[in-house]
């Protein structure tokens, strides 16, 4: 064991012995009071479940979840499993879902909504409680029987808004010469850097996408709240920013009260005393036993076992920008990337295990490297020769993400998943003018017929730019051939060239097969395989990692450096700089929208190393 790693292990072990106080939710408090009053509890007590969604829900498990539990890294599948568990509890008559600083995407709301609908099929009610409601929370509430608001809380439902920045004049002022090349008139990579306003094609592309997403929201809320278009428009006019009383009057919410009065409120609805049943992700996952230090340390350094013990379905996550090589955590902007080598290794592990009867590839990616996308496509295609491989789309499967998608045999999308961007991006930004402004003198030397292509100080010549476009056209032709082979009957004249579509429109265009979430995809695949629920396992890939592997990644270059202290200082400096940059950008766009911006920037930055990539060229932020 290296000297550099030992202090970290000691600190980690010490932290594990520290017991921190935890906040007690009103539902937890009610449960404890009920427990003390068991002897006098009314026979008319009504069982009500309680689930809390705090912060963001991640797509994939934390790599150490097998060792320490999910903790603050609850996944979407964790939350869906809790709702299902509550649905199967015969003692429950209803369920309260409390949102506590939740930052949910529209597609996550749609998947949670599907689980809520399944819960309600059993004749049980679902109640949503939040301190405030914006568009996504109101959509989630539309799947429930009752929308409850904290007294004094507000509603913000003005509609949807999207804005784009065009930087052509900024680039000229800074002395930068962007040369962004695209194959596909609707791809949009040259819009932001080389124009001052959108082209007709880009306007058609993004306005159409915004119309589809907005239409999904309106349809959902109108049906659930029994509002026609005129009433919904009036409600939005009054509740662009309003208090709960206004929201109740216009029909967007049902009731407002202080959280401690939740039990009394429900007692009126159910005509009985409330018996709380709390469902917590942390309680449903393994915990590290700190009572025996030696046993704890032994377990900490075990290798996780990720092999099935009976028939199983594998879920393979392609989550984030697609890159060549290995997946990584904490990239330039703190993002996670999806490495082609990591995914291919996971696919090979699944292929070699006969107990894996089927596979679901879960994609939430703006794309990235063209080579990595092709390598992953080949791996999925190879695996599909031995067992069914279906695809589930989260928020996005764009460009390289869609490239991977077409290798699947059946594709599920959420209504508001963003799908498509079939096109190719290439280019560079020549810095000649900026160098002149800064009085930097650059002297370049080239060898070979194409050596000058790498120069930062000068733009491409017409011949060089034509060479880039030729290579991009070859990549585009391969991309579209993969799409045509994987999506029988698709009309590329209506779907390619960089166009983007909402999930429900993608199904109509044969870009996907069905509207549904990850659970729907897994459930239907199990039925296809004649696997009985409860008799098969679900394992997620890439699999869990050992603590030593995670620590090794955290230490960066320290382990191999002859001077660990210097390497530590360098690493800290780099991380501090990245932290300041990402923190500033996050502050500008907001916590909720930062992941989308971060992943798109990371994917686009691969142009530093590759001249041709498959990525959706910008983040789509809808407010």
Residue 528 pLDDT > 70, yes or no?
Answer: yes
Give just the sign of the alpha carbon dihedral 571, 547, 334, 182: positive
Written as six digits, the tokens of 218 are 């309106």
Q: Residues 482, 111, 353, CA angle at the centre, nearest 5°?
A: 55
Q: What is the pLDDT of residues 215-261, one digit of tens each?
A: 999 999 999 999 999 999 999 999 999 999 999 999 999 999 999 99
Out of 3.40.630.10, 3.90.226.10, 3.40.50.180, 3.40.50.300, select the CATH number for domain 161-224+311-441+455-555+588-623.
3.90.226.10
**376: burial class by Cβ within 10 Å (0-12, 13-18, 19+)?**
buried
What's the count of helices (H) and strands (E) in the chain, helices before strands?
25, 21
Model confidence band, residue 544 (pLDDT cutoffs 50, 70, 90):
low
* Whole-number Å distance between alpha carbons of 86 and 141: 18
Mean pLDDT for all residues in the chain: 82
* Whole-number Å distance between alpha carbons of 26 and 262: 8
Written as six digits, the tokens of 213 are 């997403």
Name the residue with higher pLDDT: 198 or 163. Answer: 198
Three-class DSSP category at 27: helix
Residue 372 pLDDT > 70, yes or no?
Answer: yes
Name the residue with higher pLDDT: 44 or 500. Answer: 500
Q: Residues 411, 413, 415, CA angle at the centre, nearest 5°?
A: 150
* Whole-number Å distance between alpha carbons of 364 and 416: 13
Which pLDDT does position 336 carry in this prediction?
Answer: 73
Contact 281, 68 (CB under 8 A): no
Taking residues 3-24, what's their average pLDDT? 37
Which pLDDT does position 450 carry in this prediction?
Answer: 78
Three-class DSSP category at 450: coil
Which pLDDT does position 14 carry in this prediction?
Answer: 35
Q: What are 24-32's contacts with CB under 8 Å, separation 24+?
A: 25/50, 25/52, 25/98, 25/278, 26/259, 26/260, 26/262, 26/263, 27/52, 27/96, 27/98, 27/262, 27/276, 27/278, 28/276, 28/278, 30/262, 30/263, 30/274, 30/276, 31/276, 31/277, 31/278
Three-class DSSP category at 211: helix
Model confidence band, residue 25 (pLDDT cutoffs 50, 70, 90):
very low
Q: How far is CA 341 from CA 307, 313, 318, 379, in A?
A: 20, 21, 12, 10
Contact 418, 395 (CB under 8 A): yes
Three-class DSSP category at 274: strand
* Whole-number Å distance between alpha carbons of 119 and 100: 21
Give every CB contact of residue 190 below 8 A, 6+ residues apart in sequence: 178, 180, 181, 182, 427
Do 25-157+239-284 and 161-224+311-441+455-555+588-623 share a fold? yes
Lowest mean pLDDT: which of 39-53, 142-156, 251-265, 317-331? 39-53
Superfamily of 25-157+239-284 according to CATH: 2-enoyl-CoA Hydratase; Chain A, domain 1 (3.90.226.10)
Which stretches within 340-399 are classed as H helix? Answer: 340-351, 370-383
Written as six digits, the tokens of 275 are 């018996």
Taking residues 489-499, what's their average pLDDT? 96
Three-class DSSP category at 387: coil
Q: Residues 356, 337, 65, CA angle at the centre, nearest 5°?
A: 55
Nearest alpha-carbon partner for 145 in 116, 118, 122: 116
Which pLDDT does position 510 carry in this prediction?
Answer: 97
Contact 153, 256 (CB under 8 A): yes
Q: What kind and span of H or E run contains 363?
A: strand 356-365
Which pLDDT does position 304 carry in this prediction?
Answer: 65
Residue 12 pLDDT > 50, yes or no?
Answer: no
Written as six digits, the tokens of 296 are 């704890």
Written as six digits, the tokens of 434 are 């900026």
Residue 589 pLDDT > 80, yes or no?
Answer: no
Name the residue with higher pLDDT: 552 or 213. Answer: 213
Name the residue with higher pLDDT: 317 or 558. Answer: 317
The DSSP bridge partners found for residue 4 are none
Q: What percent of the chain has pLDDT over 70?
A: 74
Lowest mean pLDDT: which of 13-17, 375-379, 434-438, 445-449? 13-17
The ranges assigned to domains in the chain are 25-157+239-284, 161-224+311-441+455-555+588-623
**584: burial class by Cβ within 10 Å (0-12, 13-18, 19+)?**
exposed
Taking residues 46-58, what's their average pLDDT? 92
Give every CB contact of residue 211 below 8 A, 6+ residues apart in sequence: none
Give just the sign of the alpha carbon dihedral 300, 301, 307, 309: negative
* Whole-number Å distance between alpha carbons of 148 and 50: 14
Residue 122 pLDDT > 80, yes or no?
Answer: yes
Which pLDDT does position 38 carry in this prediction?
Answer: 42
What backbone torsions phi and psi does residue 607 show, to the nearest 5 degrees? -65, -15
């Amino acid at each position: 064991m290296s000297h550099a790693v030992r202090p970290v292990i000691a600190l980690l072990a010490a932290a594990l012995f520290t017991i921190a106080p935890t906040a007690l939710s009103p539902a937890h408090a009610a449960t404890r009071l009920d427990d003390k009053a068991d002897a006098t509890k009314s026979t008319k007590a009504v069982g009500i479940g309680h689930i809390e969604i705090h912060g963001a829900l991640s797509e994939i498990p934390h790599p150490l979840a097998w060792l320490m539990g999910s903790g603050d890294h609850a996944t979407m599948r964790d939350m869906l499993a809790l709702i299902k568990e509550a649905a199967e509890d015969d003692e429950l008559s209803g369920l309260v879902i409390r949102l506590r600083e939740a930052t949910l995407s529209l597609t996550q709301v749609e998947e949670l909504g599907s689980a809520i609908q399944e819960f309600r099929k059993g004749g049980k009610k679902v109640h949503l409680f939040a301190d405030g409601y914006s568009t996504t929370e109101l959509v989630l509430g539309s799947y429930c029987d009752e929308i409850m608001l904290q007294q004094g809380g507000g509603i913000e439902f003005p509609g949807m808004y999207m804005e784009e920045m065009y930087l052509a004049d900024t680039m000229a002022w800074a002395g930068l010469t962007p040369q962004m090349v695209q194959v596909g008139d609707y791809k949009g990579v040259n819009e932001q850097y080389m124009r001052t306003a959108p082209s007709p094609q880009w306007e058609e592309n993004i306005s159409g996408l915004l119309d589809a997403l907005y239409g999904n929201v309106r349809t959902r809320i109108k049906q659930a709240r029994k509002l026609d278009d005129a009433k919904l428009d009036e409600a939005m006019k009054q509740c662009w920013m309003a208090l709960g009383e206004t929201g109740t009057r216009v029909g967007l919410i049902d009731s407002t009260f202080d959280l401690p009065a939740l039990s009394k409120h429900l007692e009126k609805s159910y005509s009985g005393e409330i018996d709380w049943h709390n469902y917590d992700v942390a309680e449903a996952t393994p915990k590290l036993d700190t009572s025996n230090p030696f046993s704890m340390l032994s377990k900490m350094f075990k290798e996780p076992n990720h092999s099935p013990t009976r028939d199983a379905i594998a879920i393979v996550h392609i989550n984030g920008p697609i890159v060549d090589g290995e997946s990584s955590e904490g990239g330039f902007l703190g993002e996670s990337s999806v490495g082609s080598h990591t995914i291919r290794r996971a696919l090979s592990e699944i292929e070699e295990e006969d107990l894996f009867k089927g596979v679901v590839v879960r994609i939430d990616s703006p794309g990235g490297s063209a080579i990595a996308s092709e390598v992953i496509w080949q791996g999925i295609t190879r695996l599909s020769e031995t067992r069914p491989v279906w695809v589930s789309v989260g928020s996005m499967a764009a460009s390289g993400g869609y490239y991977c998608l077409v290798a699947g045999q059946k594709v599920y999308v959420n209504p508001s998943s963003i799908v498509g961007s079939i096109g190719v991006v290439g280019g560079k930004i020549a810095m000649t003018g900026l160098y002149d402004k800064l009085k930097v003198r650059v002297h370049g030397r080239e060898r070979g017929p194409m050596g000058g292509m790498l120069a930062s100080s000068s733009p491409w010549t017409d011949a060089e730019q034509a060479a880039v476009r030729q290579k991009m056209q070859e990549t585009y032709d391969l991309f579209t051939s993969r799409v045509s082979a994987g999506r029988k009957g698709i009309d590329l004249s209506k779907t390619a060239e960089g166009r983007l579509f909402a999930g429900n429109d993608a199904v109509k265009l044969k870009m996907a097969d069905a509207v549904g979430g990850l659970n729907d995809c897994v459930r239907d695949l199990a039925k296809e395989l004649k696997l009985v629920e409860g008799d098969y396992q679900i394992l997620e890939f890439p699999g869990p990692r050992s603590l030593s592997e995670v620590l090794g990644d955290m230490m960066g270059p320290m382990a191999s450096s002859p001077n660990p202290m210097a390497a530590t200082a360098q690493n800290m400096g780099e991380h501090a700089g990245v932290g300041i940059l990402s923190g500033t950008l996050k502050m500008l766009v907001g916590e909720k929208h930062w992941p989308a911006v971060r992943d798109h920037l990371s994917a686009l930055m691969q142009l530093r190393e590759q001249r041709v990539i498959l990525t959706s060229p910008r983040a789509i932020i809808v407010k």
